Amino acid sequence: MGGIFTKILILGSQARYETYLPPLPFIRQQELVFLNQESSREDILAAAGDASILFVDAITPVPASVICSLPNLKMIHSEGVAFDKIDLAAAKARGIYVCNNKGCNAGAVAEQTVLLMLMLLRSSLRGDRAVRTGRQMEMKERCMSAGIKELSDCRIGLVGYGDIAKAVAERLLPFDCELYYYTKHRRGREEEMQHGLTYLSLEELAATCDFVSLHCAVTEETRGMVDEHFLERMKDSAYLINTARGELVDNLALREALIQGKIAGAGLDTLSPEPVPADHPLVTMPAPAGDRIVLSPHLGGITEASFRRGHLHMWRNAERVADGHKPDNIVNGVE
C-alpha cells in the first residue's frame, strides 16, 4: 500500500485527468486539487499550499517563486516529455524531483512527423482547396508539370536522436528513404545499421538533406538553433519539420526564408509562443509563401494511447515517492 499525501496539485484539465485515471488503489488515498494552467501563485497557495506533488502540462510555467512557496513539495511531474518551462535549478536546490514522461508519445509524434512530410510533398492543403473550389484539374496539371517527389527519393535528416527520432526512423525505413542523423554523442555502428542511419555533422545534415526534422530538447544550446545561418545552409528545395518545440526555431528567420524561397517549405506541429497568437509571423504568411507551410495545433503527442501511458507513469511515480522511493525519468539531477 502506498504512502498518503495530504494533497496532489494538478494544473490541468480535470476532465482529461479523470478520463485517463489509471485503476490504482493509491489514487483513492489522495486529495486531488485541480486548478487551471493560468492560476497565479496566490491561487496555488490558497488552494494547495501544502501540496506534496505537482502535476503540470508540458507547456505550463513553474517558476522558482511557486516552487519555493510550497514547503512540502517533493516532486514536479510534466504530463508530457518537455520540461523546459519548469525551473529545474530551483527544484534541485530544494531536493525536489522533476520528472517527465520520456518516450510515452514517441510513436504518436513520429506519425505526425511523417504526416507533415507527406503533406508537404503532395501539396495537401492546396490540393484540398483546389478540389473544393472546382480547380481540381488545374491543380493536377500543375503538379504533373512541376513534378511530385516521392518520400523514397528523399534524404531525411533527424536532428537529435532520442525516443521520438528513433520512432521516426523506424517508420521511415519502409519508405526506403536515405536516413541521416545528428546528435552531440554519436551512436554506435551497430545501432546506426539497425535503423539504417548515417551520421553527419549538423552543418552537413542541413546542407545535404531534403527534410530536416527537429527532435531535440530545448536547452540554452538549442534554443533558436534554426536561425538565419542554419536556414542558409539548407537547400532551396528542402523542407523543415518541427514536431519538437517551437523555441528551437527563430520565427522571423524562418518567415523570411519561406518568403524569399530559401527553403521549399515547413511543416510545424509546434510554434513559440504557445498558445499561438493569431498575428504570429508564421501564421500570417503572405501568398504564395503561405502555401508552403503546414501548421498543426501541437497534436503530435496527444493520442489516447499516449495519455494512457503517460498518466499511468505519473501516478506510479507519485506512488514511488509516497513510499519513500526514488521516481524514474528524473531530469534535474536530484539523487
Known catalytic membership, residue 245: yes
**The 3-state secondary structure of the chain, one letter per residue:** CCCCCCCEEEECCHHHHHHCCCCCHHHHCCCEEEECCCCCHHHHHHHHCCCCEEEECCCCCECHHHHCCCCCCCEEEECCCCCCCECHHHHHHCCCEEECCCCCCHHHHHHHHHHHHHHHHCCHHHHHHHHHCCCHHHHHHHHHHHCCCCHHHCEEEEECCCHHHHHHHHHHHHHCCEEEEECCCCCCHHHHHHCCEEECCHHHHHHHCCEEEECCCCCCCCCCCECHHHHHHCCCCCEEEECCCHHHECHHHHHHHHHCCCCCEEEECCCCCCCCCCCCCCCCCCCCHHHHEEECCCCCCCCHHHHHHHHHHHHHHHHHHHCCCCCCCECCCCC
HSE-CB of 303 using CA atoms within 13 angstroms: 14
Residue 324 and residue 3 in contact, taking contact as beta carbons nearer than 8 Å: yes
Cβ neighbour number for residue 119 with a 10 Å cutoff: 17
Known catalytic membership, residue 274: yes
Q: Which one of the listed residues 77, 155, 215, 245 is annotated catalytic?
A: 245
Q: Which one of the listed residues 170, 178, 256, 274 is annotated catalytic?
A: 274
Active site residues: 245, 274, 298
